[in-house]
Each structure stands twice: as C-alpha cells, then as structure tokens.
Amino acid sequence: MMSKEKDIKKETEEIETSKAKQAENAAKENAGKDNTEKEAEKKEEKDPLEAAKEEIADLKDKYLRSVAEFDNYRKRTMKEKAELLLNGAEKTVAAILPVLDDMERALASAEKTDDAEALKEGMKLIFQKFENVLGGLGVNKIETKDADFDTDLHEAIAMVPGMGDEKKGKVLDCVLTGYKLNDKVIRHAKVAVGQ
C-alpha cells in the first residue's frame, strides 16, 4: 500500500508541478500580453502627439491656402476696380456721342443758313434728345416748381421776404437746376425761397 500511496503522491506532485508550470506559462503569457499592452499604450501615447503634429500641418496648409486665396481675391478686385475707374464712363460717353454728332451737324448747318426759326427748332430737338439720353442713364431733374423747400434737394441762395404766408418756405424761383442720379442728389437745385 505504501507504494500505491507513493505512486499517488508522485502523481499528485506531478499534477501539481504541471499545474504550476501551466500557471507559470500562463503568467509569462500574461506578462507578454501586459508588455504588448504596455507597448501599445506607449504607441498610443505617441499617436496623440503624431496626430497633433499631423493636424497642425493640415491646419497650417489650410491656413496658407486661405491666405493665398484671399490675396488673389484682393488683387483681382483691385484690378477690376481700377478698370471700372478707368472705363466706368464708357457707357455714359457712348450714350452722349450721338448728341455730340447732332450738335456738330447743327453748327455746320448754322453756318449755311440764316433761318433762326430752323436753328431754334434744331436746338430744341437736340436738347430733348440729350434729356432722353440722360434719363436713360438715370439722371433726372429735381422738380422745384411750387415745391416746399427741402434741404436734401435744394440749396437756398436767396430768401425773399414779404411773399405772404402761403409762399413761406416754398421755392419761388430756380436759379440753377439740380439733378439726381438714381435717387442720389448729384447737384442741389439753387433756389430762392419765400420768407
């Protein structure tokens, strides 16, 4: 029986030894996993720095592109503005040239004829044509006849006393016609106002 007990003890020791080896191997594997995890954590610790550097590079690139795009936009608008200033009157001049042609023809015919009535009629037609051209460009007269005095539209150059209460603050006479360009006053009408 002793030998059976010894065999059992031996088998038990062998089982315990194998369990201990398995536990030791498992511990080594876990330690290897821990080392791998620690290395992964170290890599993760480096990754945020790398990610931040990449993000900084990306943002810097976007910033430089935005600055370059804005600079190009600024240069383009400055060039367009300069062209508008140089050639902005082209439309106006092109519209006025036919009136100038009519004036030249009127002057040429005035030298050939002494008919004052024909010259007067020709000048009226040219004047109406010129008013139509200006109207087409958005230039309109400021009406002053029987109008209330308005400092936004009129400039008082004379105050006429003794005109009565109904004429007080009213435009009595227009000395120089005022004009608007698309609702903006470009020249105030110079008027005499009742006092």
Is 10 inside any structural domain?
no
- Assess contact for 164 and 151: CB atoms under 8 A: no
Quickly state the pLDDT bin for 166 (edges 50, 70, 90).
confident
Strand pairing category for 171-176 and 179-181: unpaired
Q: Which of 3-17, 33-47, 55-69, 136-150 has the highest mean pLDDT?
A: 55-69
- The predicted-structure confidence for 79-103, as pLDDT tens digits, reads as follows 999 888 877 788 888 888 999 999 9
Kindly state the average pLDDT of the residues 9-18. 74
Of 115, 137, 159, the domain-final residue = 137
pLDDT at residue number 46: 63
- Residue 55 CA to residue 62 CA, distance in Å, equals 10
Q: How many whole angstroms separate alpha carbon 2 and alpha carbon 86?
A: 122
Domain-embedded: residue 62: no
Q: Residue 192: which of 52, 169, 36 has the closest Cα?
A: 169
Are 145 and 194 members of one domain?
Answer: yes
Q: Is 169 part of a structural domain of the chain? A: yes
Question: Based on the domain organization, do 104 and 129 belong to the same domain?
Answer: yes
Asked if the model's pLDDT at residue 175 lies above 70, the reply is yes
Comparing CA positions, the residue from 149, 177, 142 lying closest to residue 163 is 149
Q: Is 143 found in the same domain as 132? A: no
Q: What is the pTM of this model?
A: 0.54
Three-state DSSP at 133 gives helix
Number of domains in the chain: 2
Query: Mean per-residue pLDDT for 33-43?
Result: 59
Q: Tokens for 172, please give them.
A: 């009595």
Token digits of residue 157: 């150059």
The residue range of the domain holding 124 is: 90-137
Instruction: Report d(CA 103, CA 194) in Å as an integer.
Output: 38
Say if CB 134 and CB 186 are below 8 A apart.
no
In this structure, the chain runs to a length of 195
Q: Are residues 129 and 178 in the same domain?
A: no
The span from the CA of 23 to the CA of 61, in Å, is: 55
